[in-house]
Amino acid sequence: MMGQLPPEQNTLFYNFCLERHIPSNHLLRQLDQFLDFGAIRKHLRPFYSDIGRPSIDPELMIRMLLVGYCYGIRSERRLCEEVNFNLAYRWFCGIGLEEEVPNHSTFSKNRLGRYRESKLFRFVFDGVVQRCMNEGLVKGEGFAIDASFVKADVSRQRAVDNDASSGWEPSTVESRAVREYVEALDEQPDLRRRQKSVSLTDPMAQWTAAKGPAIFSYSTNYIIDVENSIIMDVEASPSTNALEVKTTQTMIDRIELTHGIKPKRLLGDTAYGAAENLGYLVNEKDIEPHVPVMDKTKRKDGTFSSGDFLWDEKNDEYRCPADKTLKRNWRNFKVPRLGVTKEKTIIYRAVQADCELCPLKQQCCPNTANRNIKRSVYESARDVARAINQSPEYDSFFHARKKVEMVFAHMKRNLNMERLRLRGLKSANDEFVLTATAQNLRKLAKLCARAPPTNGFLAPKN
């Protein structure tokens, strides 16, 4: 017989307890064990007034954002709808069945206001990393670094070629992303760069064709501990090699300052083998760089490359294939000259008389009177990296570097992080930090979740 729903509700009063309806192995129930909202409230306290109308509970806002980033719900408007309809989301956020879900506009107001001022998202992320360390998920021996492009929220139609943008003056009535761009250039001159095309909606986004058809994008830079792929730090940057590599220093210093941990070795691709970066890792931090050395000194015309010259550390000079000397100074100056160029190199020169009479001149410097060699001031660090590249364990460690690419794949595929929803570098950073927090929380839940306390109830098994 065909059944039919009763025409009207047959129960007038419900005795409904959310706690009993969330399975014990539900992701949100597992995540809940690892969040410390006492510390978050303490951190936020100075940013709230002691008087006036109570705000929406910041714990509720953070919980809702974590639900959004853990389940790839990127729109705050949709997040509010989902929390309204989904029992597990309501339970995690602490919203009773009959309570109102906050309006989506509350998020943007708080995100740009006191959350940014208090660096709340970074605080939450650091708290989760610390929890990972306390649970023994971080070994601290090998860190891997890499960057991944994420499309900026801009349209190609609102972009101009570089020449056309040269006369463009951002005005004070421009959008927030433009105002932040102008402020950022004043604070960090490194961010000033020439691009083929500039977005007038979000000028900080980088126009790049490095990964296929050209797009405007930002890069999310991750440093992970390779033992369990825990994200130790994250930083947003425009998608250029130089700015991505610069984040190495920012992140390594910040991890050491926040968590008191420094890796023995750093694994990265060729981009991180820039001389200055290797100098920072080896000379300043005593970290082994498991990174291919970026070397542009190899000559392709068959003449001698600088590698064909012998370096004499003791006498601070090179010996050429004809056994002549190349020195940085052939005269004694009253005031010693360092002779370091803008590119952070020192030039070593052969004597013109030696080269003119040399039988190897055609193989060495056929177009100049004498031979010069440019030596990077970080050459000793580059030598350390070269020696590591030749070591037997290099390959095994280098393969571990791929783990960071898997973390990026998870971010894009499972957390729906293909395109940014917010504009400007600071907002991109907020989105990346929240995404990395969600990824670490999911990892904690997977590896360390324990059965929840029953509180007198028995949660359903599944």
Binding stretches for ligand SF4 (CB under 6 A): 320-322, 324, 350, 354-355, 358, 360-361, 364-365, 371
The dihedral of CA 44, 47, 49, 50: what is its sign? positive
Instruction: Give the span between the Cα atoms of 87 and 100, in whole angstroms.
Output: 13
User: Minimum Å distance from CB 359 to ligand SF4?
Assistant: 8
User: Minimum Å distance from CB 329 to ligand SF4?
Assistant: 17
Instruction: Give the span between the Cα atoms of 235 and 222, in whole angstroms.
Output: 7
Nearer residue to ligand SF4 within complex by CB, 24 or 363 = 363
Residues pairing with 396 in the sheet: none
Instruction: Give the span between the Cα atoms of 325 and 350, in whole angstroms.
Output: 6
Nearer residue to ligand SF4 within complex by CB, 262 or 327 = 327
Nearer residue to ligand SF4 within complex by CB, 131 or 324 = 324
**Residue 28 burial by Cβ neighbours in a 10 Å radius (0-12, 13-18, 19+):** buried
Q: In Å, what is the CA distance from 309 to each residue of 193, 292, 353, 373, 388?
A: 36, 21, 18, 9, 21
Judge contact between 71 and 25, C-beta under 8 A.
Answer: no
User: Minimum Å distance from CB 382 to ligand SF4?
Assistant: 22
User: Minimum Å distance from CB 337 to ligand SF4?
Assistant: 22
User: Minimum Å distance from CB 388 to ligand SF4?
Assistant: 30
Nearer residue to ligand SF4 within complex by CB, 358 or 407 = 358
Tokens read off for 303: 């003449």
Nearer residue to ligand SF4 within complex by CB, 191 or 322 = 322
Instruction: Give the span between the Cα atoms of 307 and 199, in whole angstroms.
Output: 43
Instruction: Give the span between the Cα atoms of 149 and 162, in whole angstroms.
Output: 21
User: Minimum Å distance from CB 312 to ligand SF4?
Assistant: 14
Nearer residue to ligand SF4 within complex by CB, 241 or 363 = 363
Tokens read off for 318: 């090179």
Nearer residue to ligand SF4 within complex by CB, 131 or 371 = 371
User: Minimum Å distance from CB 292 to ligand SF4?
Assistant: 28
Nearer residue to ligand SF4 within complex by CB, 96 or 307 = 307
User: Minimum Å distance from CB 355 to ligand SF4?
Assistant: 3
C-alpha torsion 251→253→255→257, nearest 10:
-150
Nearer residue to ligand SF4 within complex by CB, 88 or 350 = 350
Neighbours of 144 (CB within 10 A): 27
Instruction: Give the span between the Cα atoms of 440 and 434, in whole angstroms.
Output: 10
Tell me phi and psi for residue 151, to 5 degrees. Answer: -60, 135
User: Minimum Å distance from CB 304 to ligand SF4?
Assistant: 7
Q: In Å, what is the CA distance from 92 to each residue of 100, 127, 259?
A: 15, 19, 28
Parallel, antiparallel, or unpaired: how do β-strands 265-267 and 230-238 relate? unpaired
